[in-house]
Amino acid sequence: MKKNLLIIDDEKAICSSLTFALEDQYNVESTTDPKEGLKKMLTKNYHVVLLDLKIGKVDGIDVLQDIKNMRKSTQVIIMTAFGSIMSSVEAIKKGAFTYLTKPLDLNDLEKAIEQALEYQKLNEKIDCDHKDMIDGEIYHGIIGKSPAMKEIFGLIEKLKDVDTSVVVVGESGTGKELVARAIHYAGKRKVGNFVALNCAAIPETLLEEELFGHKKGTFTGAIADKKGKFNHANNGTIFLDEIGDMSIHLQAKLLRVLQEREFTPLGANDPIALDVRFIAASNRDLRKMVDDGKFREDLYFRLNVFEIDLPPLRQRKQDMPLLFQHFISVFNKSLSKHVTGFSKEAEVLMVDYDYPGNVRELINILEYSVLLTSSNIIEIDDLPSKVKNIASRDNSELDLGIGMSLGIDNLAGLTLQEAEKKLIEAALTLNKGHRKATAAMLGISERGLRNKINEYEIR
């Protein structure tokens, strides 16, 4: 049975040409009036809607929201001019399946419609099985149940079956490669290779060869052909980690690959067609790098069609007990231990710690503690000193010896509480009210500082 398709575009010529091109495969209706299109949806179930982003004076995103409110299962494909790509990305965030730039390529359109229908076909299964996974604790290897991570899981679901380029940003150790792998293995490209390359770990002179490969005899030592990462990733996904460390020279070559969808190995004459999903990651501010002339703006917009911003671990403390449990289990197996968890006091310290190295640091701390403990419970003494030292000073008195460095010449005659208050006030003034910097200067945790501020009613 043919699927129902609705076209909403203010250009009659586009409505007519698309209807003619698609009517053999689908039951196609069209309208130049978005209000009329919404009326049609009240009486008929349209599987896919082709929606112009700008319909006269009407914003297509508003129409998109009306469509999704009326019938959530309807898949909406946005049609847009190239200059409106950022608005198109916003549309995807608000429920569109994907977007296509005008003038439309019929092959791309037909492929997008097929993918949208396939996605819709899986929706009932996703709503049953996959909802349980998203509402659970592990999603394609990523552990978390906090609202921030649920949002990440939802974005991956939207992106997994489309070929939109993605940039994953976040601090070191937050799990950017895990997100890239989840996008690949959750989606249609899982049958292809997932190829990861750390641009910061390879010297500039070798990075180009790693990406493009070379032909025999290209340079001294090239005794045989070598396939590059692009070749290995063909029909799959390539993940370019720390892309902010790539040289401007190589950025220009990468841009051409993205534009032309082909690459030429070093020393070769004939290009190779490339069908690959690009995912990049950086712990640096790429937008600022563009402003500073250190990253190409055209490459930035080619890659950063959609951005996933991973929160640091300190902002998702709700996930910590899950992470503790998971990695303790992992290290129990590798270290032949039988640790069941933390003592109450040790767990408080573990949750309070800020983890500047994020999940990567958490894993190292857990391996250390599981290895060190001589019982089945991790006690405070089994924790690394950096965890014990920062947390153990939360309720202790501040080191009054730092008074001189804060410009307080004489604390004599003051009670201990009065001296502490003066030190905190002086440190806050010196750091212009910045609490994190103040806590670091005083050698206590942010939580300890907050408790002292409340105790002494410092304003």
Q: What is the pLDDT of residue 290?
A: 95
Please, what is the Cα angle at 440 between 439 and 442, to 5 degrees?
Answer: 65
**Residue keyed to tokens 């020393």:** 267
- Which of 309, 335, 367 corresponds to the end of one domain? 309
Q: What is the pLDDT of residue 407?
A: 53
User: Is 135 domain-assigned?
Assistant: no
**Pick from 202, 261, 201: nearest CA to 230:** 261
Q: What is the pLDDT of residue 179?
A: 95
- Which of 128, 162, 188 corresponds to the end of one domain? 128
The SS3 call for residue 143 is: strand
User: Is 98 domain-assigned?
Assistant: yes
Tens place of pLDDT per residue across the chain (459 aa): 789 999 999 999 999 999 999 998 999 999 999 999 988 887 788 999 999 988 888 888 889 988 887 788 899 998 887 555 566 667 777 788 888 888 888 988 998 898 888 877 765 444 444 443 444 578 888 999 888 999 999 999 999 999 999 999 999 999 999 999 999 989 989 888 999 999 999 988 899 999 999 888 888 888 888 889 999 999 999 999 999 999 999 999 999 999 999 999 999 999 999 999 999 999 889 999 999 999 999 999 999 999 999 999 999 988 999 999 989 988 998 899 999 999 988 998 898 888 999 999 999 999 999 999 999 999 999 999 989 875 444 444 444 445 545 555 556 667 777 878 888 888 888 777 878 778 777 777 777 788 888 888 887
Assess whether 236 and 326 both reside in one domain.
no
Q: What is the pLDDT of residue 124?
A: 47
Assess whether 98 and 164 both reside in one domain.
no
Q: How many helices (H) and strands (E) does the chain have?
A: 20, 20
The SS3 call for residue 343 is: coil
- Using CA atoms, how far residue 331 sits from 89, 349, 367, 371, in Å, is 41, 20, 6, 8
Segments forming the whole domain that contains residue 23: 3-128
Assess whether 180 and 275 both reside in one domain.
yes
Q: What is the pLDDT of residue 66?
A: 86
Assess whether 210 and 296 both reside in one domain.
yes
Q: What is the pLDDT of residue 136?
A: 55
Assess whether 304 and 197 both reside in one domain.
yes
Q: Are 246 and 206 in contact (CB under 8 A)?
A: no
CA distance 75 to 91: 12
User: Is 133 domain-assigned?
Assistant: no
Phi, psi of 55 (to 5 degrees): -110, 90
Assess whether 188 and 296 both reside in one domain.
yes
Assess whether 286 and 167 both reside in one domain.
yes
Q: What is the pLDDT of residue 221?
A: 80
Cα atoms found within 13 Å of the Cα of residue 130, Cβ hemisphere only: 16
Is the C-alpha dihedral spanning 373, 377, 381, 383 positive or negative?
A: positive
User: Is 368 domain-assigned?
Assistant: yes
User: Is 134 domain-assigned?
Assistant: no
Q: What is the pLDDT of residue 82?
A: 56
Q: What is the pLDDT of residue 409?
A: 55
Q: Are 369 and 324 in contact (CB under 8 A)?
A: no
- Which of 103, 128, 153 corresponds to the end of one domain? 128
Assess whether 157 and 122 both reside in one domain.
no
Q: What is the pLDDT of residue 439?
A: 78
Q: How many domains does the chain have?
A: 4
